A and B are shown apart, each in its own frame.
Chain A
């Protein structure tokens, strides 16, 4: 699997936007970019995914560089409940059985009141 690189930790103030970067310079043309987050003492939860175009959902936005070698997860207004470890994961085209997720170390986001 192609590798991703994320900062170990980031800090944000409550109610401010947060931009979480991810580098994936060896991404292949068929790799999707997935983001999951893991709140304390919980299992990971899906946040968003994309292939080439920027994506928005109720939780976040995903901005993908034109060359696809990097992406940024954007939380528009951070809350204390957004404090979590955020994982950027590359996932190939699914076969009928589905592909596993290969987690790296992620970015620990701390939100200050």
Chain B
């Protein structure tokens, strides 16, 4: 079974530029998550999708961050304009809604963003 795919793996941009990250979840997984992980910290949820609908985006800085999952499969996270504090690893995860409580999330390798 193929895992969660993310691209690019690395990106360096200057502040005020824009950037986009792409995620393809595990086939059949209805739930998709984007996390931000700053160096030395645990991942922080930015947004959660169920199919193509947003379940939780309460921690997404909506003035500069946007995300979409138009067909309920792959997803794009965009930052425009980027700030220095956006330097982090952006992780995508997916999960299945089948079964009962406590199902696991599967994470991709992440995209390391450096804003200079």
- A residues bordering B, Cβ < 8 Å? 32, 34, 41-46, 49, 51, 85, 87, 91, 93-94, 96-98, 100-106
Contact = CB atoms under 8 A, between A and B. Distances in A.
B42 A98 contact: no
25 contacts: A41-B109, A42-B110, A43-B91, A43-B107, A43-B109, A43-B110, A44-B43, A44-B105, A44-B107, A46-B104, A46-B105, A49-B104, A51-B101, A87-B42, A94-B100, A96-B97, A97-B55, A97-B97, A98-B50, A98-B55, A98-B97, A101-B43, A102-B45, A103-B42, A104-B42
A84 B103 CA distance: 22
Contacts of A42: 107, 109-110
A69 to B, nearest CB: 19
Most buried by B among A41, A49, A101: A101
B107 A94 contact: no
Interface string B82-94: 0000000001010
A93 B102 CA distance: 7
A103 B108 contact: no
Given A94-B101, A97-B55, A103 B44 contact: yes
B48 interface: yes
A60 to B, nearest CB: 14
Interface of B: 4, 31, 33, 41-45, 48, 50, 55-56, 91, 93, 95, 97, 100-110
Contacts of B104: 34, 46, 49
Contact of B102 (A94, A102, A106): A94
A101 B106 CA distance: 12
Contacts of B103: 94, 98
A50 to B, nearest CB: 8
Contacts of A103: 42-44
B95 to A, nearest CB: 6
A94 B102 CA distance: 7
B58 to A, nearest CB: 10
